[in-house]
Structure 1
């Protein structure tokens, strides 16, 4: 067994990478990327929103999000409009074609669930909850490394 197979970080990396590849296989016939798909899902469920709030929801920076939204707008899935109150604020809305894609892509979550071996919604919910707990813990480690280093008795290296 390779050494990396014993690391939590590598197991997460490999699962993320492979899951993204599975989405790519399902989305390729629609000429969509995974980030475009999750943008559509967010707009389908949460409705029209600002580029800023969409970026926060998807954890994407504007350098990634803006060109992606431009491609989605060129494909006819979304529109971007500046608000009259503040020209700096851009709102993203689904077009009729973007709304119609929801039905065309309805099979994607079912395929992912089947591929993951989920037998019901509770299986998926358990994994999602565990991953959210992990994400929160890693954010805490990222934001407060000294506290975690001290808790495990590790030295803090100074530059």
Structure 2
């Protein structure tokens, strides 16, 4: 399996995702856009696309952040989805997935910086991919935006300051 990471900033690493890849003997590839790496032209050799977080938003322009191209990343996400590839988004990555699928990101009711609990919804408690987290999980936050919701999206977790933590 080839897991492809889009990394927006040097301080936003794949972390536990990368450990998961190594422990299973999978291949990892990267576009470190902060270092001016190009995004892949094709998703043919990608099995799982992981789009990480960063301080940008989907509305960030090239003038505001020259190494970040939201439209190009949305195009990559659409290619992956159309090719029936698995796609995971973390924070900004989740917002970009929503944008790519026609659901505009929004501002959270509260800016969250620090460690705060997230709570699984009933849909989350019934989802095998997140139910093992337990009903409440303490996580680190640094955001004030949240992903948009497509008609088929389900919110799996929320926090007091952000109603869309895991979608």
Q: TM-score range by the shorter chain?
A: under 0.3
More strand per residue: 1 or 2?
2
Q: Please give the TM-score of this superposition, normalised by the length of structure 2.
A: 0.23
Question: Which one scores higher on RCO, CA 8 angstroms, separation ≥ 6?
Answer: 2
Q: Hey, which of these two has a bigger chunk of helix by percent?
A: 1
- Structure showing greater Rg: 1
Using structure 1 for the length normalisation, give the TM-score: 0.24
